Amino acid sequence: REGWSRAELVAAISGCQGLIVRSGTQVDRELIEAAPTLRVIGRAGAGVDNIDLDAASERGIIVLNAAGGNTVSAAELTIALLLSLSRHLPEANASLKSGEWNRSDFVGAELRGKTAGIVGLGLVGAAVARRLQAMEMRTIAFDPFVSEERARSVGVELVELSDLLATSDVITLHSSASPDAPPLLGSDEFEQMKRGALLVNTARGRLIDEAALSSALDSDRLGGAALDVFAVEPAHENPLVGHPRVLATPHLGASTQEAQERVAVDIATETLKVLRGQPSQAAVNAPLIDPESLEAVGPYLSVAEMCGRLATQLASGQWRDIVIRYRGEIANHDVTPLKASVVAGLLAPISDEHVNLVNINNVIAHRGWRILERKTPDAEPYTSSITVELRTSSGETSLMGTLEHGRPAVVEINGFYVHIRSPLTRPGEAPDHLHLLVLRNEDRPGRIGEVGMALGRLEVNIAAMDVGFSPDDPSEMSLMALTISRALSVEEVGVINGIDGVEDVSQAQM
């Protein structure tokens, strides 16, 4: 029913076991607490930003979404925009309706034989790739978070972003965008693109520096752009909407009858599964863990998540294998919840996808990840520990974590002994204000002071610092891990990297 007031909605759900909403309904803590018998919340669509996941999880309420229901519609819109852009169809339509007949003004280009660069090889990206291949286009993709096997299975060659920009005649965007991250495509990236290339964005407006895009279009660097999403929506005041080389649509990715029906059927089906006590592949929050398992491994879920989260941010290169090592007491139990927490941590910095015990296998299979698990009963000197090792084309990044006085702590990075405890925060407050800076440095006097002085000149406060060594590293290097007050810019990282005897500078949000 539409048009319910807040009070009417609260009254209506007070005795309900299930609630299905679209994006316009805010399911906050107050609404959840007003429904004491609620067991499941279904979101008819992909995003769950309008649902308080923490409040639902605290109550043991399963939250579902219908993430795949819009895939075909979003992919088909991408193809429609690309064809319209390459053949100047909107301009030709407007010209004809104004009484003109100017065929020569709208000479377009074929797509057959051209190279399409796909940024983000998730469900929509893969669907776009298959359709472009049917049009006899060569398809390449940039997505460091899927395996080469997954890419090959959809006929796509994985490349670095710089190679994709330099060789693609057409670029389509299908990745997520963090609110705090800089745009994926800015002035430097547009300069790397082939002159006259076409750009299509049906994913997130924040992926593009819109001012830089406007300049690239004005300078003839790009042949045109089709945009279904914008940094700020509605985009009434956005100058790109009126740009002569931009085909703009008002966020129509999921606006088809079929997508709306598919999403409605999917979410209704999954909601009924939960109410019948059956597992659902659409769950986006962690279900309650069996008490016996929770007692053994539950305290280490935060350790697993932190190691995964930091591994993603500190690693570079194309992902290949993920190794998870469980040592000590936890190795004698079912570690599936820990595996789910590691995967959730690995995804957290790069995706808004939620992982739990129900959907973990689908998430892993979808991304083509190969996860190897190892158990060792001995964990000296710790009762239990978890090591996450991320193997990429650039090498290996590993973190070992454990619990100290109930708080997660990283005790080893890439074989170097360190001691990094998760920051203390006020109740309900996330430690988003603290960042981890990791670097290798020559183990000789003065290096710690130089790094500290450099950060001081950059007006960056150091909350904690640890310097570790590796018994297996023959080089005279140590590893410095600093908890700092803010993230460093690319230029500031260069300043630290430029200190004599310092190398391999990386950072991560705690």
Q: Which residues, 6 or more positions from 97, have their beta carbon under 8 angstroms from its beta carbon?
A: none
**DSSP code string of 313-324:** HH--S-EEEEEE
Check residue 423 and give its pLDDT. 65
The neighbour count for residue 181, using CB atoms within 10 Å, is 12
Question: Is 306 buried (19+), middle (13-18) or exposed (0-12) by CB count in 10 A?
Answer: buried
**DSSP code string of 458-488:** TT--EEEEEEE--TT--SSEEEEEEEESSPP
Please report, for residues 50, 63, 233, 257, 381, the alpha-carbon distance to residue 46 in angstroms, rounded to integers and kept in the order given: 11, 12, 18, 16, 44
Contact by Cβ (8 Å): 489, 495: no
Residue 199: beta bridge partners?
171, 225
Q: CA–CA separation, 146 vs 310, rounded Å?
A: 18
The neighbour count for residue 494, using CB atoms within 10 Å, is 11
Block mean pLDDT (10 aa), the chain, length 510: 83 93 87 93 85 82 88 96 97 94 93 98 95 98 92 95 98 85 94 97 95 97 96 93 96 92 94 84 67 76 93 92 94 88 90 72 85 87 93 94 90 90 53 78 86 92 87 79 90 90 86
Amino acid at 423: P
Contact by Cβ (8 Å): 240, 213: yes
Q: Using CA atoms in the order 351, 355, 361, 363, what is the torsion angle rounded to 10 degrees?
A: -20
The neighbour count for residue 7, using CB atoms within 10 Å, is 8
Residue closest to 41 by CA, chosen among 25, 64, 57, 24:
64
Q: Catalogue all structural domains in the chain, each as residue range(s) with its CATH number.
A: 6-65+257-275 (3.40.50.720), 70-248 (3.40.50.720), 291-509 (3.30.1330.90)
Check residue 425 and give its pLDDT. 46
* C-alpha torsion sign, points 48, 49, 51, 53: positive
Check residue 286 and give its pLDDT. 57
* C-alpha torsion sign, points 165, 171, 175, 180: positive
Q: CA–CA separation, 120 vs 177, rounded Å?
A: 11
User: What b/e readout covers 95-129, taking b as 16+ CB neighbours within 10 angstroms?
Assistant: beeeeeeeeeeeeeeebeebbbbbbbbbbbbbbbb
Task: Say whether 387 sits in a helix, a strand or coil.
Answer: strand
DSSP 377: S
Q: Which residues, 6 or more positions from 231, have their beta carbon under 8 angstroms from its beta carbon?
A: 205, 206, 208, 210, 238
**Which position has the token pair 């994926």?**
184
Enumerate the active-site residues: 204, 233, 251
Contact by Cβ (8 Å): 82, 111: yes
Q: CA–CA separation, 118 vs 165, rounded Å?
A: 10
Residue closest to 16 by CA, chosen among 271, 267, 264:
271
Contact by Cβ (8 Å): 142, 159: yes
Q: Using CA atoms in the order 175, 180, 184, 185, what is the torsion angle rounded to 10 degrees?
A: 130
Phi then psi dihedrals of residue 16, to 5 deg: -90, 150
Question: Is 219 buried (19+), middle (13-18) or exposed (0-12) by CB count in 10 A?
Answer: exposed
Q: CA–CA separation, 144 vs 324, rounded Å?
A: 19
| Count of residues in the chain | 510
Check residue 424 and give its pLDDT. 53
pTM above 0.95, yes or no: no
In angstroms and rounded to an integer, the radius of gyration of the C-alpha atoms of the chain is 25
Q: What does the angle CA 24 – CA 30 – CA 36 come to, to the nearest 5 degrees?
A: 110
